[in-house]
Amino acid sequence: MEKVIDESVQGSPLMISANGKNNRKLYIESYGCQMNFSDSEIVASILANEGFNTTSDLEDADLVLVNTCSIREKAETTVRRRLEKFNAVKKNRPHMKVGVLGCMAERLKSQLLEEEKIVDMVVGPDAYKDLPNLVREVDEGRNAVNVILSKEETYGDIAPVRLNSNGVTAFVSITRGCDNMCTFCVVPFTRGRERSRDPQSVVQEVNELWEQGYREVTLLGQNVDSYLWYGGGLKKDFDKASDMQKATAVDFAGLLAMVAEAQPGMRIRFSTSNPQDMTLDVVRTMAKYRNICNYIHLPVQSGSDRILKAMNRLHTREEYMQLIDDIRRIIPDCGISQDMIAGFPGETEEDHRETLSLMEYVKYDFGFMFAYSERPGTLAARKLEDDIPEEVKKRRLQEIIALQQKHSLYRTSQHLGKTEEVLIEGPSKKSDQHWMGRTSSNTVVVFPKEDYKVGQFVMVRIDDCTSATLLGEAVGLAENME
């Protein structure tokens, strides 16, 4: 399960500056994971070349697209409510067309067009280059659908436009799809088999972002640690590669080093990692380069070996704990966050207590915690009975959340009295007199603006904290990372 974007920005319409030659309006909303937000930037780039400027005004739009998530039932319910809203607006704008993109489009396919009749266009995550043809189809009064999954498409040749950007941080996709068949997850079915992007195209995009003034990138993939470029296609076919391809292959540790060396002044983050695929080479590479942030999002999902096996997570509790120990040994101040599922089928109170005890062992900085939601088509939905009552799921989830809040406060309190490097991302949400930025370990910091500017690296003395935020005073600009 990939890390989910904070609820405060889920579903926000995304905007770019207008091209004076374009005369049509695109309104696009994104839900779910970081990959969806990144994909929306690719979609906007493709449609900008087809005469569309983006707009934040739904009632001004000629084309409305919603980039969807299927990871939980709640996400799909939210999208359906938005589609109802779009169709209500469409009654007063008959020429307006509505389309669904992404994972929900891939999962439900033509059902949205033929049975529910709530959209004009359905486009899967590997079919965005076909959008010009699909738009022409709907312009001519026909419904349009393309949900064909690809074994090659990475969109590495598309220069994304940066939507609603702060001008400082950006996403760079490095892989698509996933080969890990976790029983609870729809991603392998909605995004296809895993393939990696040419490392030179990744470095080129990072270089271009630096020239545009960006100072931090997050390398994105459903599972970045299994990145493997060998000049071929799917990762699963690597054994068939030529000796030359194998000799020149680039793994994730190698890609990290390439990006870090290409732009020593740029902060580098990545997400999401899978414990079974993360190697100590990656951790050592993080330790070697100052500009690679000391933060790892390391989903575990459960602390019980029995449940991990039922989830088809190819790591044990002990192996996960050993990885945590190795990370702390190599990078003592590394921030670590989690994904956790409460109430997976068959989970007992003892299984739940093992999850809580694992959390006590790690003491994560923060986490993304959910009650189990059965997703149609997954192995868990086909083979396992969703037998945990909702009230039990909710109670266990609340216990996980409460423990995480305790650990988050413990972790933020460890910063008190320290002076830390912070990249200013923009104004604080709560005060226009304060800046907001993040430490290398991904902890949010708020401090008075004074004469500092967005995009600067500033040294901040930490004086106070909550469970989610550090509060302090800037004491000067940071030294150049180079």
Bind-site residues: 33, 69, 103, 178, 182, 185
> How far is residue 337 from each of residues 110, 334, 349, 446, 466, measured CA to CA in Å?
37, 10, 23, 20, 17
Amino acid at site 275 = P
Residue 406 has which token pair? 């305790």
Bind-site residues for [4Fe-4S] cluster: 33, 69, 103, 178, 182, 185
User: Residue 370 and residue 435: Cα distance in Å, rounded?
Assistant: 31
Q: Cβ distance 345 to 152 under 8 Å?
A: no
User: Residue 198 and residue 250: Cα distance in Å, rounded?
Assistant: 9
User: Residue 135 and residue 123: Cα distance in Å, rounded?
Assistant: 11
Q: Cβ distance 422 to 438 under 8 Å?
A: yes
The number of beta carbons lying within 10 Å of the beta carbon of residue 430 is 10
User: Residue 82 and residue 225: Cα distance in Å, rounded?
Assistant: 35
User: Residue 294 and residue 454: Cα distance in Å, rounded?
Assistant: 21
The residues, any chain, with a CB within 8 Å of residue 467's CB and separated by 6 or more, are 405, 406, 408, 409, 412
Residue 178 has which token pair? 């996933």
User: Residue 35 and residue 274: Cα distance in Å, rounded?
Assistant: 16
User: Residue 343 and residue 345: Cα distance in Å, rounded?
Assistant: 6
User: Residue 291 and residue 212: Cα distance in Å, rounded?
Assistant: 18
The number of beta carbons lying within 10 Å of the beta carbon of residue 360 is 12
